[in-house]
Structure 1
Amino acid sequence: MKRFLAAILLLLVTGLPRAGGAETLADALVSAYNHSGLLDQNRALLRAADEDVAAAQAALKPVLRWSGSVTRTFGTRQVSGSGFSSSVNGTSVDLGLIAELLLYDGGNSKLQIEATKETVLATRDTLINIEQQVLFRAVAAYMGVIEASESVALRNNNLRLLTQELRAARDRFEVGEVTRTDVALAEAQLAQARSGLAGAQGALLQATEEFRNVVGRAPGRLQPPPRLPDVGRDLNASKALAVRTHPSMRAAQHQVAAADLLVLAAEAAMQPTVTLRGQYGVTENFNSPSYSHTGSVGIDVGQTIYNGGRLSSNARRAMAQRDAQRANLHIVRHDVQQDVGNAYANLLSARAQLEASERQIRAARIAFRGVREEATLGARTTLDVLDAEQSLLDAQSTQVSARANLYIAAYNLLAATGRLTVADLKLPVQTYDPAAYYNLVKDGPAKRSKQGQQLDRVLRALQKD
């Protein structure tokens, strides 16, 4: 037990807060936002989606490439019947420059571009939803440490009281006021209290590890949470707000829009394509003074008539995926509404439980004091005193859990309505701008261009972070 208490003390000492004093919930949320690897992971996925737009845009831009070859020929040429022969050994070099530009493809490329843009918007909303999850977990971790710490304090206080009760029972046994049974009851209750304290200390260790994982450091001296956030009192209004603004709903809507565009793109892929093509080439013969420069410009027109049904299959697959995304939107809508309803119910339940526990504590404290006083006069047994003490402890433990659950439920309702973000909470953090990287890459900057060099600096900064 002593080693266990020493471990608890070590965790609390190593996790002391900054010199500025006690740590607030806002401090924990800021640290969780800056520490989260989950946010970093999904930001990288968003940047990958941004690059899909640049890749799709490239289909409508000119393509310029070069080609070259070196050819070595050898042999002899003989004129029939003359007995005369000559060598045909030689080396030639061909260099070519080819340029192509898509003029028309039935709108397939433009539709693909718009679909990837919708996917980017969906990924941005997914990132916002991840942000909500990170912040909510930080709230739960913060309240978990407070709840576990208060529970340990209650158990320690209960242990002190039961130790006093046991000492009093032994004194009364010595003078013949109580039996050996009363002393055994007090000893058993004290042993149970020690077991309960060990369990509470274990819960505190677990809460500390959760806090360290989420926030990035061990908890210091935590301030009581601020007043509850304004979550509204109208369930139907909260559900309507969630359907309009929750990032999961917006992401699902963008996914439906992207699927609709991909259906049109699959149908457009069956249309003719028109491509402007230009070519310029140089041929140099090393064993001859002759050389040639040639160039050509032309328009290629073509259309796939039959390809084993692949284009039709692609169109049908796009339709099926569109139907799946529409069904997903239906599912997300009802899930969001249910989450709001569940969070609202949890909030009401926690608030009612907290109010009831306060009344229960007042009554249990009065009862405990009365029973203990009556026991000194011989009107109550030791068992009565121990039962009254246990009832008070249970009421206080219920209050601690209810207070933590109330805050968790309130912030869960904020998340269910899509309002648990750093912007809504007005947290002092350097927020991630999802449009900054998109604006750099959407036009597909060349590696050696000015914009490409700026993009390289951004990438190096991201890798350093």
Structure 2
Amino acid sequence: MKVRAPLIAACSLILASAAADAADLVTVYQRALQNDPQIREADALRLASRESKPQALAALLPQLDASGSAEKFKSDGSSLFPSTDGDLTTFVNRQTENDTDTIGWQVQLRQPVFRWDQWMTLKRADAEVAQAEADYRFAQQDLIQRTSIRYFDVLAAQDTVDAAQASLDAFARQLEQAEKRFEVGLIAITDVQEARAAHDQAAAALIQAKRTLATARELLRELTGESFDQLAAPVDDMPLESPNPANEEQWVTTALDQNLQVISARLATDIAKQDVRVARAGHLPSLDIVATHADSEDSGTRTVTNPNTAPQVFPADADGKSDSISLQVTVPIYSGGATSSRVRQQVYLHRAARERLERANRETERLARDSYLGVLSEISRVRALRQAVESSQTALQATEAGFEVGTRTTVDVLDARRQLFEAQTNYARSRYDYILNVLQLQLATGTLDRADLEEINSFLRERTITR
């Protein structure tokens, strides 16, 4: 029991680890959603942009400020004063010293009445928040696409490794048979050399395929923060569905209306337009209501010293309070041309924003058309390559049979095997390309979401990934 208990525990850990390493497309996306720095950055930027609305609103609300001061004041000096003694007037030197403490405070309430730039900033904030939300939603859709691309790149690389390994094994058997046939004099040495060359090329191709697989795995790990030993791959009978509706122009229209990058560019144009209005507000007057209450308290002494007399000390205590309500109008007259320059700058930026919107429209239209045609072409390509694999297998079997009876050479067999290897890798890649084109079309139209991944995920099954 002391031996079996650790063994059972170890087996449980191994099974738990294996289960943790197995993942499908939705699981990998969930890991990416939690760990991808790019989506977390987009979320932080979205939350930061939300704060522009309360900041713009706060500028229109009452502003209450309080200030206080404490002052220690000391001074001394002398001055000449006239002194009359009978008919004789003389001037005497009088010394004066002041030593006072002053404590004061003030409260000011300012209510903006008319500030055009602040009203335009508030309106601009609404568009800025909406743009941030559109950018974050696009970041979520982009994460779905990036995850899918890297996920299926791993599967495609694994398919290439499997095909390269199978090809290497077949070429190894072909080389072994060629060497035996050469030993009994059935074939020439050139056939052996051809088989060895094909074997060496297959070995090199397998090394390269494993290197590509390792890179694809690292790219997926970079996105998710985790490595996966098992990923679900498409089943053999995965349906190939054409876009619905089967109308390219409808997809383009939907993309131009709903694509999140186009929406973001459109909002950026609105923001730039509001910035022009904010800059032009620098030429307009502003109007505020200002209410102020001030209170001050002085304490100290004032000492006066006359010649031949004792110093006289007077208190210097005083209290003061004041209240005022005013209507303040500020009219900008001349700022050295800075305001006009800022207006011109924002006009140019608005022009640039309009051009970015036009570019986004054109890119989105191209992407929608290309993705729509890509889905249709990949459907035909998958079917054609599936038939090509079957044809290549049949051709290889026929070539091997001809080789056995002497009607085909070793070179013919090697070429047939290479064609089968190429057909298998192309067929596997085409199925992934079909899925990615479907996701690309949905991304172009702004409709890509988790439900699309779950639909694709329903046609996947687990397979082991080579390390």
CA distance in 2 between counterparts of 1:319 and 1:357 reads 55
1:366 has 2:367 as partner: no
1:398-419 Cα distance to aligned partner (Å, 9 max, x none) = 1122122222222112212212
1:185-209 Cα distance to aligned partner (Å, 9 max, x none) = 1111111111111111111101110
CA distance in 1 between counterparts of 2:241 and 2:297 reads 79
1:133-154 Cα distance to aligned partner (Å, 9 max, x none) = 2111100111111111111111
In structure 1, runs of 5+ residues without a counterpart are: 1-13, 428-465
Please say which of residues 310-319 and 134-143 is displaced more in the overlay: 310-319
Please say which of residues 310-319 and 356-365 is displaced more in the overlay: 310-319
Equivalent residues of 1:111, 1:265 under 8 A apart: yes
> In the TM superposition, what are the counterparts of 1:62-461 in structure 2 within 5 Å?
62-73=62-73, 74-76=75-77, 78=79, 80-81=81-82, 82-105=92-115, 107-225=116-234, 231-232=243-244, 233-287=246-300, 288-422=316-450, 425=453
- Secondary structure at the aligned position of 2:187 is classed as coil
1:138-197 Cα distance to aligned partner (Å, 9 max, x none) = 001111111111111111111111111112112211221111111111111111111111
- Secondary structure at the aligned position of 2:283 is classed as coil
- Tell me the equivalent position of 1:444: none
CA distance in 2 between counterparts of 1:85 and 1:124 reads 74
Q: Cα distance 1:15–1:329, how it changes in 2: closer, same or farther (>3 A)?
A: farther
Please say which of residues 184-193 and 65-74 is displaced more in the overlay: 65-74
Q: Cα distance 1:391–1:173, how it changes in 2: closer, same or farther (>3 A)?
A: same
Q: Cα distance 1:80–1:15, how it changes in 2: closer, same or farther (>3 A)?
A: farther
**Runs in 1 of length 4+ with deviation above 4 angstroms?**
14-18, 226-231, 423-427
Paired residues in the alignment total 414
Letter matched to residue 51 of structure 1: E
CA distance in 2 between counterparts of 1:162 and 1:423 reads 45
Letter matched to residue 193 of structure 1: A
CA distance in 1 between counterparts of 2:144 and 2:434 reads 16
Letter matched to residue 374 of structure 1: G
Equivalent residues of 2:25, 2:453 under 8 A apart: no
1:271-321 Cα distance to aligned partner (Å, 9 max, x none) = 221111111112111214421122211111121122222222222322222
Equivalent residues of 1:128, 1:421 under 8 A apart: no
Letter matched to residue 216 of structure 1: G
- Secondary structure at the aligned position of 2:19 is classed as coil
Please say which of residues 66-75 and 367-376 is displaced more in the overlay: 66-75
Q: CA deviation at 1:60?
A: 0.8
- Secondary structure at the aligned position of 1:308 is classed as coil
CA distance in 2 between counterparts of 1:301 and 1:92 reads 32
Q: Cα distance 1:406–1:15, how it changes in 2: closer, same or farther (>3 A)?
A: farther
Q: Cα distance 1:89–1:204, how it changes in 2: closer, same or farther (>3 A)?
A: same
Please give the TM-score of this superposition, normalised by the length of structure 1: 0.83
Tell me which structure has the larger Cα radius of gyration: 2
Q: CA deviation at 1:322?
A: 2.0
Q: Cα distance 1:251–1:308, how it changes in 2: closer, same or farther (>3 A)?
A: same
- Secondary structure at the aligned position of 1:419 is classed as coil
CA distance in 2 between counterparts of 1:295 and 1:313 reads 41
- Secondary structure at the aligned position of 2:170 is classed as helix
CA distance in 2 between counterparts of 1:229 and 1:127 reads 30
- Tell me the equivalent position of 2:37: 37
1:217-264 Cα distance to aligned partner (Å, 9 max, x none) = 112311124756874332211111111111111111111222222223
CA distance in 1 between counterparts of 2:352 and 2:17 reads 50
